[in-house]
Structure 1
Amino acid sequence: MIRGMFKTAFVVTAVLGSSPVVDQPAAPAPQNMPAPPAPAMKTVTFEGACDASGAVVQGQWMFTVADDEDNVIRVYDGKSGGGPVRTVDLSAALKLPAGKKRPPETDIEAATEISPLSFWLTSHGRKSSGKVDPNRFRFFATRTLEDGTTRLEGKPYTRLLDELLAAPQLKSFGLASAATRAPKEEGGLNIEGMTAMQDGKSILIGFRNPIPQGKALTVVLLNPTELLQGKKARLGPARLLDLGGLGIRAISWWRGQYLFIGGPISGHGGSRLFTWDGGAGEPRAVEGADFTGLNPEAFVTFEDKEEILVLSDDGSSLIDGVECKRLPEVAKKRFRGVWLRLPGKK
């Protein structure tokens, strides 16, 4: 059983106030209550890429991150920032067709670790133009060896979208219709979050779009390692979570709780940070986590550190008047990370 997370037929109604009502005067409302302290934040800049998406912990202060504009994963020092320590282009291993200038992008949007493997998930949505691109239907894993080299593990899995559309627990959410639309169109399909769950075997997948009933959609993948051998995906419970009308940009399991970045489907508007214990209740917003000027899209969560690292997709940020993602000079490209201490964590 997965830590009791979905064990009650997905009923989200919380039972409140179970003690008897006592007829007594109401306590006066507190006056001038101080606002909760804002989380401490420190910004680090990373060079050589713009569109940070999924990321996994690589070691002491180190992490590996994908860029959704290419098929390269890069290893960075999360403490000092700067350029990548190592880069690995996965295009050949993923057997992508040759392009005019480079292989087509797979649109990697999410990552998680089930040791000793790192798992990577593409958006499984259409191109921004609305055209189908089969290269965007990939679920795969990498293994990093003791000498620091990284290789693909098994074979990329390309049938996950078909199985999501066929899953009876997802039928009521309109994914078949969503899959015919552009990813940032109202009611389109776009997957941007996943994390290994507490059992260390299953993965929780989160959708940025669609947002059925104004809630974020999640579903459990029960057998991620078997997909690398070509076995059919087994999908577990689906659940809607209330993120205040936002979709899921990133998920991480950290220190006994889930962390979510909630963001709008279009990319226009603010993002928020949420925590969730995985039970029957809803996620709670982390007050004071201000992402103004950032486009948060990935977590790096070290279990032995008090802060989490939130990565910003800065592909649309202007550098010398040009969008970062369109810069021809790789040396000028950069994205930001924010070290964040959550309230109550010491």
Structure 2
Amino acid sequence: MRALAALLLCAVGAAAAQTRYEGLCDASAAVALDARHFVVADDEHNRLTIYRRGEAKSVGGIDLDKFLKADKEADLEGAAQVGSRIYWIASHARNSAGKVREDRLRFFATDIHGTTVEPVGQPYTGLLADLLAAPALAPLKLSDAAGRAAEAEGGFNIEGLAAAPDGSLLIGLRNPIPQGRALVIPLLNPAELVSGKSPARFGSAIRLDLGGRGVRSIERVGSGYLIAAGPPADVGSFALFRWSGKATDVPAPIKADPGTLRPEALFAWPDGQVTLLSDDGGVMVGKKACKDADKSKRAFRALDLKP
């Protein structure tokens, strides 16, 4: 992990390591499909887009509107690979006005087929209800959080998803951050959810000191995890941490400045290298925010962290 920390420290400030990928702005989750391709979710659209490493234009994509049965964007925020399967999670959050958004209650899976993915099983829509009903999570008072807007103080917002060695998943919350600690909740039976066999089962919540920040992305790298942390709302600083995965271990900050990037997703390549994606939906393109610009002008930045 020391070598990885040194790698991040050297690479984050290097503008030459950045790549611009075209076609979407709000990169929110991603997974490497092989040594050259990755698939990325956009939290403004129900579509997965596939890119070849280092090349600006996409090489494929999968529309998910029909599969997700969503009338509006599902607000996809996290992804985690277990074998040849990728699990995806939506924010499960209310909108900025505090209104319930049923389309955001989605947990689903895709299977990797070469350099593309295909949806498998069925979307699970009961994850939030399961979280709120879990006795072990009652002290977190997530019912109160789930009644507030996603970015409101003490609101509820899922943004991270990572694989654990035993095939379970870790759900990372951007909000709430009780007592200044970010929340990571183990999801024990992801395969059963997408096969429609049973409700979600959870392990004990893990509280992490990320300097008052929440989880924006979490990824298993080697024997531990990397965490991109950020504020629950738009105002605040971002930071990177390495964490052993043990609940009793404190995450170690990586002294690196992401500059103008807004880290929203990170993923590891088969060779152990890491790519950090920026949510550039609010970046101005002429007189418009990127997400409102013509599609031909939309793009997001990626930072490749190389040894």
TM-score between the two structures when normalised by the length of structure 1: 0.83
RMSD of aligned Cα (Å): 1.4
Distance 1:246 1:139 in 2: 24
What count of residue pairs does the alignment treat as equivalent?
295
Identify which of 134, 138, 143 aligns with 1:176: 143
Identify which of 338, 342, 346 aligns with 2:303: 338
Structure 1 position 153 matched with structure 2 position 127: no
Give the equivalent residue in structure 2 for 1:286.
254
Which amino acid in 2 is paired with 1:291? P
1:39 alignment partner, SS class: helix
Q: Indicate the larger mover: 182-191 or 163-172.
A: 163-172
Distance 1:317 1:81 in 2: 21
Distance 2:237 2:21 in 1: 22
Shift of 1:256: 0.9
Shift of 1:149: 4.8
Which amino acid in 2 is paired with 1:318? M
| Runs ≥4 residues deviating over 4 A | none
Gap runs ≥5 in structure 1: 1-35, 98-103
- Residues 270 and 291, structure 1, Cα contact 8 Å, conserved in 2: no
Structure number with larger C-alpha Rg:
1
Show CA shifts across 1:70-124 (max 9, x none). 001001122x230111011110111224xxxxxx100000001112111110000
Shift of 1:173: 1.3
TM-score between the two structures when normalised by the length of structure 2: 0.93
Structure 1 position 84 matched with structure 2 position 55: no
Give the equivalent residue in structure 2 for 1:142.
110
- Residues 137 and 158, structure 1, Cα contact 8 Å, conserved in 2: yes
Q: Provide closer, same or farther for how the CA distance between residues 149 and 253 of structure 1 changes in structure 2, counting only shifts above 3 A.
A: closer
Give 1 or 2: higher helix fraction: 2
Structure 1 position 57 matched with structure 2 position 32: yes
Give the equivalent residue in structure 2 for 1:243.
210
Which amino acid in 2 is paired with 1:134? E
Shift of 1:317: 0.2
2:41 alignment partner, SS class: strand
Residue identity (%): 43
Distance 1:233 1:227 in 2: 7
2:138 alignment partner, SS class: helix
Which amino acid in 2 is paired with 1:286? I
Equivalences for 1:1-346 in 2 at 5 Å?
38-40=9-11, 41=14, 42-78=17-53, 80-97=54-71, 104-146=72-114, 148-199=115-166, 201-230=167-196, 231-279=198-246, 280-287=248-255, 289-305=256-272, 307-327=273-293, 329-341=294-306, 346=307
Distance 1:302 1:64 in 2: 12
Which amino acid in 2 is paired with 1:276? W
Give 1 or 2: higher strand fraction: 2
Shift of 1:61: 2.4
Gap runs ≥5 in structure 2: 1-5
